[in-house]
Homo-oligomer: A and B are copies of this chain.
Amino acid sequence: MSVFARRLKEARKAAGLSQESLGIRAEIDPMSASARMNQYEKGKHEPNIVVVRQIAAALDLPEAYFYAADDDMAELLRLFHKLSREKRDEVLEFAMKLGGVGPAIK
């Protein structure tokens, strides 16, 4: 199963939504929402980035979450997404300190 399919399924279940209701919240045509979400979760199709963005917004997750191969990275993204700007800065500084790393990519 692709990373995307796995993350989608786990996030939908964590939100307590059916495939259909998530699809509708993600602005997919209600007539095909259930079938399309099922195909995405089965890994038969991967949605384009616009649809990924809509699904992410419906689940209050960042798009990057769905591409996190490692569970700890997915969890970090989920948490980081919900933090305030100030707290995000704190997490970033903490990670930089642990990594002994200098300035950001720019």
Binding site for B on A (CB under 8 A): 2-4, 10-11, 14, 46, 49, 52, 62-83, 87-92, 94-96, 98-99, 101, 104-106
A8 smallest CB distance to B (angstroms) = 12
A90 near B98 with CB under 8 A, answer: yes
A5 smallest CB distance to B (angstroms) = 11
In the assembly, what is the distance between CA of A19 and CA of B93, in Å?
31
Consensus secondary structure, chain A interface: helix
In the assembly, what is the distance between CA of A77 and CA of B105, in Å?
12
B69 near A91 with CB under 8 A, answer: no
CB-based closest 5 A-B pairs = A64-B64, A14-B105, A64-B67, A79-B95, A64-B68
In the assembly, what is the distance between CA of A89 and CA of B65, in Å?
17
B64 near A92 with CB under 8 A, answer: no
Chain B residues within an 8 Å CB radius of A105: 10-11, 14, 74-75, 78
In the assembly, what is the distance between CA of A70 and CA of B83, in Å?
13
